Chain A
Amino acid sequence: MTELLNTIVAQKSQIEQALWEHLSLSFWALVIAILIAIPLAVSLKNSRHAGEIVLQLAGVMQTIPSLALLGLLIPLVGIGSVPALIALVVYGIMPIYQNTYSGLRSVDPNLEEAATAFGLSRWKKLTRLELPMALPVILSGIRISLVMIIGTATLAALIGAGGLGTYIMLGINQNNNAYLIIGAGLSALLALLMSALLKYVGASKKHLKQGIVVATLALVGFGGWRGWSSFQSKSEPIVIAGKLGSEPDILIHMYKDLIVNDDPHAKVELKANFGGTSFLFRALRNDQIDIYPEFTGTVLQSLVHDQRSTPHDPVKTYQRARRLLKQEYDLTYLKPMKYQNGYDLAVTADFAKEHQLTKLSDLAKINDQITAGFDPDFANQKDGYLGLKSAYGLSFNQVKTMEPALRYQAIAAGRVNLVDGYTTDPQVRQYHLKVLKDDQHFFPPYQGAPLMKASFAKKHPQVVKSLNKLAGKITEKDMQEMNYQVTVQHRKASQVAHEYLVEYHLIKK
């Protein structure tokens, strides 16, 4: 509970930002869905055939898993808010259309005939009879749609549109319940609140008028603000994005500080927790972002087409990654930092002392005393435990596979005495673990470095110069410490990043 409160206090402005992003994304999705669904239903209400077909079609769209829909949209419209908005609109249309259509069709035919016989125009009939009669049903459709949109909008974080989903994803990734509660709780609260608001609006004609006035004002105000701000920011900002998690967040804040330190007029926009590797890579190539930190090992294994096995030498790995990125995608890969963030095996400090363990080759002699807790992927991959077995002659007494986030808790509780992990995981510090040295260089080296388009690098030599100051800096211990401060102590990534740069005299205070 206190952890939750601490997180909320520390992240207040980010939470507000996420809430705002979530709200505005949902709001626009709802407005667009209404603007599509209601006129569609109105125009199809008299043609039974077409109306039913559209109803079926909307139903089918509803059944596409939202994640799949987002995936389908990425090749078409890229990443960020646009595909998120499109997906949410697609979801939002169905309940509104269905309710409007059936609401309009269920108007008493007697009344319809009376209106026709009185010589009322179609518009008059619609506004004076049909829409008012169908209104309660339409409003309940809008409410259903709104709740769905707010819920589904949490997935927008997956493709870099931000919102409360960012917290849910971070929470899942880092096994951080405070984040999960913030993300899920706030989105649920938002849905309830908005639904109640709509119910109030639908309660009477007067409320409806008030609601329409407020919504219109909000629309006009927001449009004006957007127009004004886009008019204001004429110079294009440099957009730096990071993957999910505290480490990329810290790194991009360092990038920003370094750039702004050298050029106080530079405009830098950060997109933290922007998404996974492929999203970011695509975003970079589509000019939606300018820079993001990427690992050398990831480049060779997932981004470029490398037939050969990944070298164990970090320098060679970097060289090859740089060359292939340039060759295949015309990207510039700046020099990497010092620390390696790859797989490792860790034991408790006591256990290491007891058996005098410092490196992986020390493990072979105590095979029968080891109960390992491994991530299921790691346990079954050739570059994981399977390869490790033959490289170091390992054959542990017992291997338990468990969720990545649970491994550290398991070792802290003494249920296992060895776990796999990443070298910069803050839990290494949190639980006083000992990382064993990969003395035979089995694990592919993962070093982080800024990735950008060659054209961008050419156009901004100053930025390249600023970012290169990080080359060869930051040890694994440093990174662990910083990750620890952000994820466990809930300090702001920007502060932690800034302190490091100042401490190592990379920027002036």
Chain B
Amino acid sequence: MIRLIKYEAIGMQYGQNVILKNINLTINDGELFVLVGPSGSGKTTLLRMINRLTAPTAGNVYLNEKCVKDYDLRELRLHMGYVLQSSSLFPNLTVGENIAIQLEQQGVNKNDRRKRAIELLDQVGLSASDFIDRHPDELSGGQQQRVAIARSMATQPQLILMDESFSALDPVLRAQQQDLLLNLHRQSRTTVVFVTHDMQEALRLGDRIAVINNGQLQQIGSPNEILEQPANQFVADFFATARPRLGTMTALLSSKLVQKTSATDQSVAVATVAELASLTPDSAGWLHFQYQGQDFQIQTTDLLHYLGQREDR
């Protein structure tokens, strides 16, 4: 895996006020990486260090193994996408001009800019002929955010930064935008660093998640790792409401109630605990199931006991 961004011993301090403390973090090329934490945790500050809107008071940020301080500032930013919270479209420019603003700065000619804008509008699911010459105030919030995403992809950047990009949208629109982002990310494999305070969103989007609180890094891991092996009480509490009610397969398998068996005809492949619970036991009360190619069995009474314990927690 190629390392794209490295935070090295990052600290941030305004007088006595400590914003960030000794952050070490790497983000890999092609990842959709989520920085999550309550508001005021320092996650946005961390994001803004990548495009140097904020400079750390200690440590360095590296992009492609080169310290961001050593980049030409304009070049650095010009080759990065950036999506803010809603309403960051320039109201005096059309949708097409908004999308191509970085290309315009790069000196790309007008025809090519328009072509690219059409292409991008298509990718974010807006009809180009319908939208390209409109002004932002003629768009709904969701459409505006789609345009903002299209704009961030205009220069085919290696990296897109997203700061609470969907937080101002209602839940339905937010889910749509998340789907769109996941889709686009799957196609392009562009590295995305996504900041949010919403753990549901973090779990939904993140290939890997970094949890930050009070300026300190709490845990880095896949959504599953964060859920199942929270590094501390803060992480556990923060994600408590996001946990599936019946727990995860990983948690169940590690509970010692489950026995590995050799392959049998009775085994049914399952993906979640809920699916497992809906199986019919054999005459001896065993549930036979297959998870990720491996055959297991568990006593119905044990499973009920296990689930009961979870409910109590």
Residues of A bordering B, CB below 8 Å: 108, 110-111, 113-121, 124, 128-129, 132-133
Interface residue total, chain B, C-beta cutoff 8 A:
24
Q: Which of A119, A120, A132 has the most CB of B within 10 A?
A: A119
- Kindly state the separation between the CA atoms of A116 and B80 in the bound complex, as whole angstroms: 12
Q: Please provide the 6 A-B residue pairs with the shortest distance between their CB atoms, ordered closest to farther.
A: A119-B77, A119-B78, A132-B92, A117-B82, A114-B88, A119-B74
The residues in B between 161 and 191 inclusive whose CB is less than 8 angstroms from any CB of A are: 161
Contact B75 A129 (CB under 8 A): no
Q: List 22 A-B contacts (CB under 8 A).
A: A111-B90, A111-B91, A114-B82, A114-B90, A115-B90, A117-B53, A117-B80, A117-B82, A118-B77, A118-B101, A118-B105, A119-B74, A119-B75, A119-B76, A119-B79, A119-B80, A119-B105, A120-B101, A124-B105, A128-B101, A128-B104, A132-B92
Contact A121 B74 (CB under 8 A): yes
Contact B91 A133 (CB under 8 A): yes
Contact B90 A120 (CB under 8 A): no
Name the CB-closest residue of A to B73.
A119
The one of A113, A120, A121, A133 in contact with B92, judged by C-beta atoms closer than 8 angstroms, is: A133
The one of B51, B74, B93 in contact with A128, judged by C-beta atoms closer than 8 angstroms, is: B93
Contact A110 B84 (CB under 8 A): yes
- Minimum CB–CB distance for A174 against chain B, Å: 54
Contact A119 B88 (CB under 8 A): no
- Minimum CB–CB distance for B279 against chain A, Å: 52
The one of B78, B92, B93 in contact with A118, judged by C-beta atoms closer than 8 angstroms, is: B78
Name the CB-closest residue of A to B97.
A128
Name the CB-closest residue of B to A133.
B92
- Minimum CB–CB distance for B299 against chain A, Å: 57
Contact B87 A113 (CB under 8 A): no
Contacts of B91 in A (CB 8 A): 111, 133
- Minimum CB–CB distance for A170 against chain B, Å: 49
- Kindly state the separation between the CA atoms of A110 and B51 in the bound complex, as whole angstroms: 16
Contact A113 B53 (CB under 8 A): yes
Known contacts A119-B74, A119-B77; A110/B88 CB under 8 A: yes
Contacts of A117 in B (CB 8 A): 51, 53, 77, 80, 82, 84, 161
List 20 additional contacts besides A120-B102, A128-B92; criterion CB under 8 Å. A110-B84, A111-B88, A113-B84, A114-B82, A114-B84, A114-B88, A114-B90, A116-B53, A117-B53, A117-B80, A117-B82, A117-B84, A118-B82, A118-B102, A119-B77, A119-B105, A128-B90, A128-B93, A128-B101, A133-B92
- Kindly state the separation between the CA atoms of A132 and B93 in the bound complex, as whole angstroms: 9
Contacts of A111 in B (CB 8 A): 88, 90-91
- Kindly state the separation between the CA atoms of A128 and B92 in the bound complex, as whole angstroms: 8
Contacts of A121 in B (CB 8 A): 74, 105
Contacts of A115 in B (CB 8 A): 90
- Minimum CB–CB distance for A32 against chain B, Å: 28
- Minimum CB–CB distance for B160 against chain A, Å: 11
Contacts of A108 in B (CB 8 A): 87
Known contacts A114-B82, A119-B102, A120-B105; A129/B90 CB under 8 A: yes
Contacts of A129 in B (CB 8 A): 90, 92
- Kindly state the separation between the CA atoms of A117 and B157 in the bound complex, as whole angstroms: 13
Name the CB-closest residue of B to A114.
B88
Interface of A is mostly: helix
Contacts of B77 in A (CB 8 A): 116-119
Name the CB-closest residue of A to B87.
A110
- Minimum CB–CB distance for A137 against chain B, Å: 13
- Kindly state the separation between the CA atoms of A133 and B135 in the bound complex, as whole angstroms: 13
- Kindly state the separation between the CA atoms of A132 and B91 in the bound complex, as whole angstroms: 9
- Minimum CB–CB distance for B15 against chain A, Å: 21
- Minimum CB–CB distance for B145 against chain A, Å: 13
- Kindly state the separation between the CA atoms of A118 and B82 in the bound complex, as whole angstroms: 7
- Kindly state the separation between the CA atoms of A318 and B114 in the bound complex, as whole angstroms: 84
Contacts of B73 in A (CB 8 A): 119
Contacts of A124 in B (CB 8 A): 104-105
Q: Which of A110, A114, A116 has the most CB of B within 10 A?
A: A114
Name the CB-closest residue of A to B148.
A114
Contacts of A128 in B (CB 8 A): 90, 92-93, 101, 104
- Minimum CB–CB distance for B122 against chain A, Å: 22
- Minimum CB–CB distance for A68 against chain B, Å: 42
The residues in B between 42 and 86 inclusive whose CB is less than 8 angstroms from any CB of A are: 51, 53, 73-80, 82, 84-85
Name the CB-closest residue of B to A116.
B53
- Minimum CB–CB distance for B110 against chain A, Å: 14
Contacts of B78 in A (CB 8 A): 118-119
Contacts of A133 in B (CB 8 A): 91-92
- Minimum CB–CB distance for B144 against chain A, Å: 12
Contacts of A116 in B (CB 8 A): 53, 77
- Minimum CB–CB distance for A167 against chain B, Å: 44
- Kindly state the separation between the CA atoms of A115 and B53 in the bound complex, as whole angstroms: 11
Contacts of A119 in B (CB 8 A): 73-80, 102, 105
- Kindly state the separation between the CA atoms of A316 and B291 in the bound complex, as whole angstroms: 130
- Minimum CB–CB distance for A119 against chain B, Å: 3
Contacts of B93 in A (CB 8 A): 128
Contacts of A113 in B (CB 8 A): 53, 84
- Kindly state the separation between the CA atoms of A132 and B80 in the bound complex, as whole angstroms: 25
Contacts of B87 in A (CB 8 A): 108, 110
- Kindly state the separation between the CA atoms of A423 and B79 in the bound complex, as whole angstroms: 86
- Kindly state the separation between the CA atoms of A121 and B87 in the bound complex, as whole angstroms: 21
Name the CB-closest residue of B to A118.
B102
- Minimum CB–CB distance for A129 against chain B, Å: 6
Name the CB-closest residue of B to A135.
B92
